[in-house]
Amino acid sequence: MPRRTASLLSVLSTCALLLAGCANPSTGSAEDDPTKPVTLRFWHGWAEKNEVKAINDSIARFEELHPHIRVKAIGNVTDATVNQALRAGGDDAPDVVSSFTTDNVGQYCSSGMWVDLDPFMKKTGLDKHRVFPTALLDYTSYRGEQCALPLLADAFGLYYNKDAFKEVGIERPPRTMSELKRDAAKLTRRAKGGGYERVGFMPNFRLYENSPERLFAQWGPSYFDKRGKARLAEEPAAREFFATQRELIRRQGGYGPLERFRTSFGDEMSSQNAFLTGKLAMHLDGEWRGRSLKDAPFAWGTAPLPVPDDRPETYGRGFLTGTVVGIAHSSTHQNAAWELVKFLTSDTDQVVAFANAIHNVPSTKAALASPELDSDPAFRTFLRIAGNRYSSALPASINGGQYVASLQDFGYAVESGRVPDLGKGLRELDEQIDADNLQAQN
């Protein structure tokens, strides 16, 4: 299932809950005996019928291996609800928690609401560096504290319409940004009335999964320096990224016409999705999209997103995110809770079965290499992206996704022509990010 970009309101409300209530979080303990009978409370965000079944099947497998541990799962729970419960503590609070919002890991770790998992891994002999890809460890930790582990991942790549490619004589998907700009223009088909029948690649940031950080990942940017200060104005990749996006807009008719066409698209998760209806020839999206394209009226394929022309060796990379899971600081059954977290995140057979069930990317090195994974070639493109050494995730921040929301707002201003001086705009963006981080620390 897609991990949709959180709205600014959602991010800020989560921030407020965490920062206002975590100075003295309810304290649990890791003194419990994990071999004694216990019932754990596991709160998660999955809600679709097939996803809930996959979670329940996972719990059944765990309980078969640990007959003394029962797990009571509650689904469709938001981060805000979880954090309210963790602040309150008590018998009804969860022991194990999961979140789709990797942006908030920095807050989970720094606030103390999710416990540091390194002592549990050391105690039970789990070597995280041998088990998990580096990029996934990066987005589940903050300043050296591993308060979460990855529970499946999402990788972003390129979906393309093979019939449209054949129609205009393009033999393969683009691998560089220059090829993307050329192919996008060639695939764009204007309507007689001045609008569009089809756009080669819609660059506008408000489209579905087109949040700026996902395409920006193809440049491998550094958001912060060693002191934690924002450095986008010093990052040549930032100027290259926005220049590329502006050129994509220009070559396909300009921001205004493209934005008008975008507003005519159907809902992302409906049968009127713009790629499914042929209005987009190429589209940035995650691995889950393939399931909804099984009955598409055209031939389609998947590939990694293109990379900058001067970095061809990085082709195959992509943006990574995913679900994270941890143990509540208020839990009095932390050793038993660790047994559940360890099973869900590191047992190869379990990770593969769960990945196949909900069509997400597995989050361990062994599972990524498993022959038992879904053999669909379109899906395997995303497995390769997840395993690519250049693929990256967003760095954790003390105020969660606030800097991502600031980048998104800046992207909207850039694409619409409201940032005439890109260098000045980036400096102001850095200042805003630093000011927000400083406020979160006080």
* DSSP-assigned beta bridge partners for residue 320: 155
Q: Which two tokens stand for residue 147?
A: 């308060």
Rounded Cα–Cα distance for residues 264 and 139 (Å): 35
What pLDDT is recorded for position 193?
83
**What is the predicted pLDDT for the residue at 6?**
41
List Cβ neighbours of 64 (8 Å cut-off, separation of 6 or more): none
Q: 206-211, long-range: CB within 8 Å, 24+ apart, which pairs?
A: 206/259, 206/262, 206/412, 207/262, 207/265, 207/274, 208/268, 208/273, 208/274, 208/283, 208/285, 209/2, 209/4, 209/5, 209/156, 209/268, 209/284, 209/285, 209/286, 210/284, 211/5, 211/404, 211/408
The first and second tokens of residue 378, run together, are 């379109």
* pLDDT score for 26: 59
The distance of Cα 105 from the centroid of its chain, to the nearest Å, equals 12
pLDDT at 20: 42
pLDDT on residue 16: 44
The token pair at 426 is 């980036």
**Mean pLDDT, the chain cut into blocks of 10 residues (442 residues total):** 44 44 62 94 95 97 98 92 81 91 88 95 97 94 94 97 98 98 98 93 97 96 92 96 97 97 96 97 96 94 98 97 95 97 98 96 96 92 95 86 94 96 97 91 74
3-class DSSP state of 158: strand
pLDDT of residue 7: 40
Give which of 283, 339, 261, 258 is closest to 67, Cα–Cα.
339
Phi, psi of 342 (to 5 degrees): -60, -45
Asked whether the beta carbons of 111 and 24 are under 8 A apart, the reply is no
The structural domains of the chain, ordered by start, are 8-154+320-387 (3.40.190.10), 156-314 (3.40.190.10)
Give which of 29, 55, 51, 60 is closest to 328, Cα–Cα.
29
- Residue 84: predicted pLDDT: 84
C-alpha gyration radius of the chain = 22
